[in-house]
Chains A and B, each alone.
Chain A
Amino acid sequence: MSTETGRESQRSGALVNLMRWMENLSDTQYAYLLLVPVFVLLGVVALYPLLRTFELSLFAVSTDLTSIKFVGIDNYIGLFTGEKNRYLPGGTTFLPSSFEFTSLLNSALVITIIFAVVSVLFETLIGLGQALILDQDFYGRRWVRAAIIIPWAVPIVIQGMIFFLMFNSNVGFATPPLADLGLLAPTNTLNDTASATFIIIVADIWKTSAFMALLILAGLQSIDRGLYDVAKVAGATKWQQFKLITLPLILPTIGVAVLFRSVQAMRVYGIIDTVSSCAVVPSLSCMVVATFNTREGTSAAIAFVTAAIIGIVVMGIILWQGEDAI
C-alpha cells in the first residue's frame, strides 16, 4: 500500500491485504467468515420473515379499516373459536364446526392433516413396492428406474394440469367410471370437496411415490446380501425373508422418510390451486395465500400456526434422530 511499490501491486494492494488477512484467521474465524453469505440469505429470506409473520399475527385491521392495532393473541383465539371463519374463502373453516364428514373436510387444519396422512401412507406402500422392483437385477433396469422417477420431476403446475384434464367435466374420461364406483361425485367433480380431495391425493401419490421409492431403495441396497443366502440355506420362503430380514432392516429408513415427507405434504398448495381451488380444498398454505392481501393478521396467524405444527414435528425428528439427523 505504500507509495514506493509499483502501480501493479498498488492496484491489487487491498486484495492482497484481504487475502493475507484471510490466511491468518483461525479455523473458527475462517468458518464463520465463509458462512456469512448463508447467514445473510437465510436471515433475509427465512428468519426475518418468520419473526415478522409472528409480529403481524398480533395485529388486526381496526374497525374503521384505516389503521392496524395491536390485538395480542386475539387472531389466534379468533381462529380457534371460529370467529375468523368469515374471512376464509368459500364455506371453509379453520377448525371443524362439528364432527360430520363434510364439516371435517371443510376445515383447513383437518384437511391438511388428512391429506398428509393418507398421501404419505400410500406413497410409502407404493414406494416400497417400486423399491423392491428396482432392487432386483433385470434387463432394462435403468429405463424402468427413469420411468419411475419421471413423475417426481414433473413441475407441480403440469402435474395439476394432467389431473385437471383427467377429471375435468368436459373432456375428463376418468370421472364416469370412478363415479360409477361411488368414489367421485358424478357432476361438478372438481368443485366437490370430497372428490377434489381424493383427486389431489391421487395426484400427489402419483408424483411423490418415486421419491419414497428412492429413499427406501437406498435402505434396501445397504442390506448385507449374505443374510439372504443364510436364509435360503435355512429354507426360508421369500415372504419369510422379506418379513424377517428386509422389513426390520429398512424400518428406520422408512420412519425418517415418512416424517420428512409428512412435513413436506403439509405445505400442499400448488396442486390444489391448479386442479381445484382453495375455496373447495382448504389447505393451511391455501388459507394463508387466500387471505394475505385482505386480512393480514388472520393470514399471519394461520401461517404461524402452520409453521408451529411443522416446527413441533421437526423437533420430534431431531430429538429422535439426534446427531444422526445431520
Chain B
Amino acid sequence: MATTTKDTDDSDGPLARWTQRAIQNPERVYRALFYAAMAFFLVTTLFPFYWLAVLAVTPEGNLLAGSFLPTINLFGVSGTFPLPVPKGFNPAAFVTVFEQVPFHLYMLNSFALAVTTTVIVLFVASLAGYVFGRLRFPGRALLMLGILAISYFPPAAFVIPLFQAFAGNAPITVPFTDIPLFTPPRLLNTPGSMVLPFSALFMPLSIFILTTFYGQIPDGLEDAARVEGTTRLGALFRVIMPLSAPGVATASVLTFIAVYNEYFFSSIMATSPEAAKWSPIVGGILSYQTQYTTQYNLMAAASIVGVLPVVILVIVAQERIVSGLTSGALKE
C-alpha cells in the first residue's frame, strides 16, 4: 500500500506524503496513535525509576550544585534539556547504603514477614477455599459476604485496639464490659504484631482465588483419592492443592507482594525503625529520610535496592499476577 502511493506525489515533503497516505489508509493513523500512546505510557511508568538511577549515581558533593536539567545550546538557541541527567558518576552509593544503615537486615525482615504471612494465609485460605469451593452448606453465601465486607474495612478501624493489645499492658476485656479475658504478651516490635494483621488483611483475596481454583477440580478425582483410603484433609492437601498449583502460586505471589508493600501496620507496629526490632523496609527507607536528611543519593540507592525483588517477581510471575488480580480482586 505504501509503495503504490509513492509515485502519486513527487514534489511534496515527507510530512505531506505521510498525510497523503494516511488519508488514503486511515489504518496507518491508528497505528501511529497506538505507538504514540504506548510510548507515552512506557515513559510515564518507567521514568520515576530512571530518576532514582540518576540521583543514585550522582556523587554526593554534586547533589545540590546546579540543576539536574542541563541547559543546552542547540544552533544558537539555548534551552533547558527536558530530561534530568546525572551530575557526575559514582556508583559507590549502592555500597554505602548497606553501611550507614543495615539495609540488608531490613530487607531480610521484610522477606521473613512476607514468607511467614504467605504460609499462614495459604494454609488458612486453603481450608476456607475448599469449604467455599467444594461444599454446599447453609450460610455459605452469608459467610462469603461477611469475609468480603471485612476485607473492605480500613486498617485504621482496627489499629487502636490492636496496638493496645500488642503493647501487652492491660488485659483484653469483652467489648462493652469490664470482664477480663487474658493479658496478651507484648508483641510490639516482634513479627507477631505484624504477621497477625497482615494475615487477616490479605487472607480474603487468597480465599477468593483458591475458592475459584479448588471449585474447578472434578469431584471424581477427590472421590478416587478417598476410595484409595485418604482422609478428607489428606485429599485436600495431597490431591486438590497440588492439582491447583497455578492458583496456589497466584495466591502466594499476591500475598508476598502485598506484605512486602504494606505500610500502615509496618510503620506502626515496629515502634522504632531498627532492624533488630523487626522493622521491615519501611523503617529502613524512612531512617534515611529522617537521619541522613541530605544524602539524597543514598535514599535513591536504597529505593532501587528495595524495589528490585518485586520488579523481578513481576517479570517472572507476570501471568500469575494478571490472572490473580483479574479473577480475585474484583471480588475481594
Contact = CB atoms under 8 A, between A and B. Distances in A.
Contacts of A35: 127-128, 131, 143
B55 A170 contact: no
Contact of B156 (A31, A41, A303): A303
Nearest to B160: A292
A166 B162 CA distance: 35
B41 A129 contact: yes
Given A35-B128, A45-B162, A133 B310 contact: no
A326 B212 CA distance: 11
A280 B311 CA distance: 32
Contacts, number: 299
B303 interface: yes
Secondary structure at the B interface, as helix, strand, loop or mixed, is: helix
Given A206-B48, A289-B268, A30 B261 contact: no
Given A31-B135, A145-B322, A318-B148, A55 B175 contact: yes
A27 B136 contact: yes
B154 A266 contact: yes
B200 A46 contact: yes
Interface stretch (A3-11, A85-93, A154-162): A154-162
Secondary structure at the A interface, as helix, strand, loop or mixed, is: helix
Contacts of B130: 34
Interface in B303-332: 303, 306-307, 310-311, 313-315, 318, 321-322, 325-327, 329-332
B306 A155 contact: yes
Contacts of B44: 206
Contacts of A237: 26
A113 to B, nearest CB: 14
Interface string B25-45: 010001000100110011011
B296 A168 contact: yes
Interface residues of A, number: 102
A284 interface: yes
A173 B325 contact: no
Contacts of B172: 48
A53 B158 contact: yes
A296 interface: yes
A41 B48 contact: no
A148 B318 CA distance: 11
Nearest to A130: B41
Interface string B46-58: 1011011001000
Interface string A129-168: 1101100101000101111111101111110011111101
Contacts of B143: 35
A22 B233 CA distance: 9
A162 B314 contact: no
Contacts of B260: 155
Interface of B: 26, 30, 34, 37-38, 41-42, 44-46, 48-49, 51-52, 55, 63-64, 67-69, 84, 123-125, 127-128, 130-131, 135-138, 140-141, 143-145, 147-150, 152-163, 172, 175-176, 196-197, 199-201, 203, 207, 231-233, 257, 260-264, 267-268, 281-282, 285-286, 289, 294, 296, 299-300, 302-303, 306-307, 310-311, 313-315, 318, 321-322, 325-327, 329-332
Interface of A: 19, 22-23, 27-28, 30-32, 34-35, 37-38, 41-42, 44-56, 126, 129-130, 132-133, 136, 138, 142, 144-151, 153-158, 161-166, 168, 170-171, 173, 176, 206, 210-211, 214-215, 217-218, 237-238, 253, 256-257, 260, 263, 266-267, 269-271, 273-274, 284-285, 288-289, 292, 296, 299-300, 302-304, 306-307, 310-311, 313-314, 318, 323, 325-326
26 contacts: A27-B135, A35-B131, A42-B200, A45-B162, A45-B201, A47-B150, A48-B172, A49-B158, A53-B158, A138-B34, A145-B318, A146-B318, A150-B46, A153-B311, A153-B314, A154-B310, A155-B281, A173-B51, A173-B69, A214-B326, A238-B26, A260-B329, A269-B263, A284-B154, A311-B153, A313-B152
